[in-house]
Amino acid sequence: MNNALLLGATGHLGRKIAAELKRKGYEFTAVIRNEQRKIVLTGITDQFIVADVINSKAIAGITAGYDIVISALGKSVSPNDKSKASFRQVDFEANTLILTDALKNNVSKFVYVSAFSAEKYRHLEYFKVHHEFSENLKSSGIDYSIIKPPALFSAFIDLIDMAMKGRLMTIGKGNKLTNPIDETDLAKICVESIKQKNATIEAGGKTVYSRRQLNEIIQQVINPGRKVRTVPIGLIRSFLPLIRLVNKNMFDKFAFFTAVMEHDTVAPKLGSTTLEEYLEKYKAAKKDSV
């Protein structure tokens, strides 16, 4: 069993999963939304399927001939993401289409990247759709692995840009704890899970940080001359109803941001890379690209 179909292949995590599949000797095909996205996987694979994953006709039969499906498919939580599709359309409906096709084509293994503690926050759309698909996957009869990180380091790239401009803010007290994980570490866990039977794996990074510490570390590494400002969480909450009227997708994102600022989300420490190490690599890569 070594022939895989990878969805979400050009995202931050998907690229690392692709590299890990190659390193481990798997044959795999990356599903991409347009031809231009091939460049992201240069040197990793030349096997691609171009398809709109939220279009049932476009993905009909897409899993035929594959033993393994790995889905890192999900809508970005970044406020800078302007795509019109909702969390439900991407994270639930598109993955459901893929799962249905996988069952028809007797795929042996389905690996899905979900969200840590999604079952606890089902009143929020982001967590709700991850939980609902995970439950459907468990009951489908296919051998599954559900990977549940609290966050990826790449999710903080928006904060890196804000820190560079001196606009980085901590929402509320910033005292709630979390341990995000490097996407390279998580990619290894995803690929290793192919050999695990019906596994649910909660996977966090090696270091636990408060939300304020995360911001202060980012600011110190990226632009130490600027300070991190504080915004009352009540102020953000007061704007949520208005945001919902104007843009439902943006509301779901800010409702998610507000919720994670108010709760500890600490997963088992399976990663090996610290945020500080990640940021230094990111900074060096940016410098080399200039």
Query: Which pLDDT value is given to residue 287?
Result: 67
> Which DSSP state fits 11?
S
Residue 90, number of CB atoms within 10 A of its CB: 19
With contact defined as beta carbons under 8 Å apart, do 92 and 112 qualify? no
| pLDDT of 289 over the 80 cut | no
Is 207 exposed, middle or buried, given 0-12, 13-18 or 19+ CB atoms closer than 10 A?
middle
Task: Give pLDDT tens digits for 93-115.
Answer: 999 999 999 999 999 999 999 99
- Looking at the DSSP bridge assignments, the partners of residue 229 are 169
| pLDDT of 9 over the 70 cut | yes
CA distance 199 to 63: 21
Nearest residue to 151 (alpha-carbon basis) of 64, 214, 79: 214
The helix/strand/coil state of 208 is coil
With contact defined as beta carbons under 8 Å apart, do 160 and 285 qualify? no
Domain spans in the chain, listed from the N-terminal domain onward: 3-153+182-203+266-272
Task: Give pLDDT tens digits for 123-167.
Answer: 999 999 999 999 999 999 999 999 999 999 999 988 888 898 888
Average pLDDT over residues 45-72: 94
CA distance 113 to 82: 22
Query: Which pLDDT value is given to residue 31?
Result: 96
Query: Which pLDDT value is given to residue 158?
Result: 87
Maximum separation of any 2 CA atoms in the chain, in Å? 57
Query: Which pLDDT value is given to residue 79?
Result: 79
| pLDDT of 290 over the 60 cut | no
With contact defined as beta carbons under 8 Å apart, do 226 and 178 qualify? no
Select, from the ranges 73-77, 96-100, 167-171, 237-241, the one with the highest average predicted confidence (pLDDT): 96-100
Superfamily, domain 3-153+182-203+266-272: NAD(P)-binding Rossmann-like Domain (3.40.50.720)
**Confidence class for position 288, pLDDT limits 50, 70, 90:** low
- Greater confidence, 285 or 198? 198
Residue 279, number of CB atoms within 10 A of its CB: 19
pTM of the model: 0.93
Query: Which pLDDT value is given to residue 160?
Result: 87
**Confidence class for position 250, pLDDT limits 50, 70, 90:** confident
Average pLDDT over residues 49-58: 91
Q: What does pLDDT average to over the chain?
A: 93
| E strands in the chain | 3-7, 27-32, 48-50, 68-71, 109-113, 143-148, 169-171, 177-178, 199-202, 209-210, 229-231
